[in-house]
Chains A and B, each alone.
Chain A
């Protein structure tokens, strides 16, 4: 499996390391090369410096052959844009965006994007720990079905 990850923060670097360790082909993109220091010493993938919403950069990262695309920067909007470039322009089969604002996350879910929302996931976990009903959708990746485009 080939994966592209945009954003080498804690989540991006963590996922990149995990995939690399499992033997997958990973390319991680970040605007600052210092961010790549977060990767483990044994990371075997590629690190590309650049703007992950820019089509040229994504081509350079091998977008044509990617199976998965993860937009995991700190900016919800940047992730939403990168994910839609990946899905609609580059036609990468599986695309996931991190969107931490629950309202925005819900809106993009109904637009057919697979979304992870840290806020609702944490609220869900903490609520359950307190014996409250959780949010059954909080950790669900699958987007609602999209009509043919």
Chain B
């Protein structure tokens, strides 16, 4: 596959190395001459010292025959423009943007970026997993942004504890997937009884996460019902 990467910071550098190692054809665009030379010294001539936001430089990099353009600079606006140019001007089938401000995530999707990666959210998610909080853990967002995989820790007072999966009034469009009991994960069946201490992995629509949380975890102790 031919992939154009824009931005030679840490993310772009390691991404390019990984892609090359797995046998892909890659061009990396980095506008800072010193940084471009540094990377070229380490991974060879796949680096072009160009500003990937400029149409003619994307053309020079071969964007019109790229399967994927990944914009991973530290500036949200640059990543957006690279993806939109790739999509609308070069008909690139798949565009990926790194966003740094969580607020831009939904906007970028709406504006046609196929995949939006938010390192801030990922770091928050990873940290949340290590901190016991009585809330849903956000595991992964599915590509459309409307569905999310969430994990709930079932505590003794949880409304779901002691009930069979089929008896839980989950909102439409949400489903339980997997129950992790001890170290064993198994698929949730209609007759699976949820027990305190379980971890439940569920697919939830974004707009019914409050309902899912109330059902699996209960109300926040320190927070009035919304």
Q: Which residues of A contact B (CB under 8 A)?
A: 53-55, 75-78, 80-81, 84-85, 88-89, 101, 103-104, 106-108, 110-111
Contacts and interface: CB of A to CB of B under 8 A. Distances in A.
Nearest to B82: A77
B85 interface: yes
A107 B85 contact: yes
Interface string B33-48: 0000000000000000
A81 B80 contact: yes
A81 B84 CA distance: 11
Contacts of A76: 53, 81
Contacts of B76: 53, 81
A80 B81 contact: yes
A54 B89 CA distance: 26
Interface of B: 53-56, 75-78, 80-81, 84-85, 88-89, 103-104, 107, 110-111
Nearest to A82: B77
A106 B107 CA distance: 22
Among B55, B77, B78, B104, chain A packs the most CB atoms within 10 A around the CB of: B77
Contact of A88 (B77, B85, B88, B107): B107
Contact of A107 (B89, B104, B107, B111): B89
B80 to A, nearest CB: 6
Contact of B88 (A84, A89, A110): A110
